[in-house]
């Protein structure tokens, strides 16, 4: 006992004086420029209890000042264990209120792989085109956060995205759905519920072969629901409900969970035409 304690103490002292990482469990501190970027981002917004709908929401970023100098241990942050770079920022349901634009320090965090700002109130500002800088993103969730205007095409640069959720925004428009998704060929989850798409579904959707969840409810879709949508090899959940001008045929053989306009349930009559005129 005493011996191993002494040994631990010795190796601790060696570490201390050599300033080297002592064990694989010790990872580098977060970088000061990234810590600063996080603090500036937090300070550019205010906290407002009304800004989040989740009953368990709390101002996560408020605790940062008590959580030490290493931002990797702050609430909502994850870092790369080898480099100390910030790779995930989850400030969903954090009562954040205010506008963000592309000059935000948020867009200096270029190693982010996961960004979740869902369920806050960004004061009807536009989704900042600066998101297009975050080329490592695989997960982006801005759902229910009071963005408005047009979805910037810079989102289409994020070709590593596997999950994109912009749903339930009040006045968000997607004027060019085809261009938005044409590069996003890794997407598994695409949630655009209530985003104003107002066009037919583009045939390029067939190239999103990893797609397993597609929520395009309340999107003002037009034209005919293309049948290839049922042939997407990994599709498991499809919600195209509440698109009053969408018509289409359900294939006789399909085993996916489909949320359609409730009037056409049950799905046993799957060969019925299901227009809504």
Ligand X SMILES: *[C@@H]1O[C@H](CO)[C@@H](O)[C@H](O)[C@H]1NC(C)=O
Question: Of the two residues 140 and 197, which places its CB atom closer to ligand X in the complex?
Answer: 140
Q: What are phi and psi of 45, to 5 degrees?
A: -120, 155
Output the CA angle 204-208-209, nearest 5 degrees: 125
Question: Whose CA is closest to 200, among 183, 176, 224, 179?
Answer: 224
Question: Of the two residues 183 and 241, which places its CB atom closer to ligand X in the complex?
Answer: 183
**Least distance to ligand X, CB of residue 116, Å:** 6
Question: Of the two residues 111 and 189, which places its CB atom closer to ligand X in the complex?
Answer: 189
Cα-to-chain-centroid distance, residue 134: 12
Residue 35 zone, left/alpha/beta (φ > 0; ψ -120 to 50; rest): alpha
DSSP character for 37?
A: H
Say if residue 252 is exposed, middle or buried (CB neighbours under 10 Å; 0-12, 13-18, 19+).
exposed
CA dist., res. 157 & res. 155, Å (int): 5
**Least distance to ligand X, CB of residue 193, Å:** 11
Question: Of the two residues 84 and 123, which places its CB atom closer to ligand X in the complex?
Answer: 123
Q: By CB under 6 A, name the binding residues for ligand X.
A: 44, 92-93, 98-99, 101, 103, 118-119, 123, 141, 143, 156-157, 159, 163, 165, 183, 189, 191, 203-204, 206-207
**Least distance to ligand X, CB of residue 134, Å:** 13
Question: Of the two residues 84 and 127, which places its CB atom closer to ligand X in the complex?
Answer: 127
DSSP character for 121?
A: B
**Least distance to ligand X, CB of residue 203, Å:** 4
Beta bridge partners of 79: 86
With beta carbons less than 8 A apart as the criterion, state whether 97 and 46 touch.
yes
Question: Of the two residues 84 and 133, which places its CB atom closer to ligand X in the complex?
Answer: 133
**Least distance to ligand X, CB of residue 81, Å:** 24
**Least distance to ligand X, CB of residue 270, Å:** 26
Question: Of the two residues 93 and 241, which places its CB atom closer to ligand X in the complex?
Answer: 93
Question: Whose CA is closest to 44, among 112, 110, 97?
Answer: 97
**Least distance to ligand X, CB of residue 144, Å:** 6
């Amino acid at each position: 006992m005493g011996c191993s304690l002494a040994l631990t103490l010795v190796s601790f002292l060696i570490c201390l004086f050599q300033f080297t990482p002592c064990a694989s469990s010790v990872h580098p501190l977060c970088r000061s420029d990234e810590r600063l970027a996080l603090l500036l981002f937090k300070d550019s917004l205010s906290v407002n209890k009304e800004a989040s709908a989740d009953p368990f929401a709390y101002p996560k970023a408020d605790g940062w000042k008590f959580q030490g100098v290493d931002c990797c241990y702050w609430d909502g942050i994850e870092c790369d264990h080898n480099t100390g770079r910030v790779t995930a920022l989850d400030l969903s349901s954090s009562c954040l209120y205010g506008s963000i634009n592309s000059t935000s320090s948020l867009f200096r965090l270029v190693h982010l792989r996961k960004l979740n700002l869902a369920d806050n109130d960004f004061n009807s500002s536009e989704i900042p085109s600066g998101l297009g800088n975050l080329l490592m993103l695989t997960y982006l969730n801005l759902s229910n956060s009071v963005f408005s205007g047009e979805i910037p095409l810079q989102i289409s640069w994020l070709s590593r995205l596997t999950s994109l959720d912009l749903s339930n925004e009040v006045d968000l428009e997607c004027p060019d759905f085809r261009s938005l998704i044409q590069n996003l060929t890794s997407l598994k989850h695409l949630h655009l519920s209530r985003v104003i798409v107002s066009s037919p579904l583009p045939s390029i959707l067939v190239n999103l072969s990893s797609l397993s969840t597609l929520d395009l409810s309340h999107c003002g879709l037009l034209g005919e629901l293309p049948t290839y949508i049922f042939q997407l090899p990994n599709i498991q959940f499809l919600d195209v409900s509440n698109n009053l001008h969408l018509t289409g045929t359900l294939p006789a053989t399909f085993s996916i969970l489909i949320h359609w306009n409730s009037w056409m349930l049950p799905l046993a009559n799957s060969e019925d035409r299901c227009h809504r005129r």
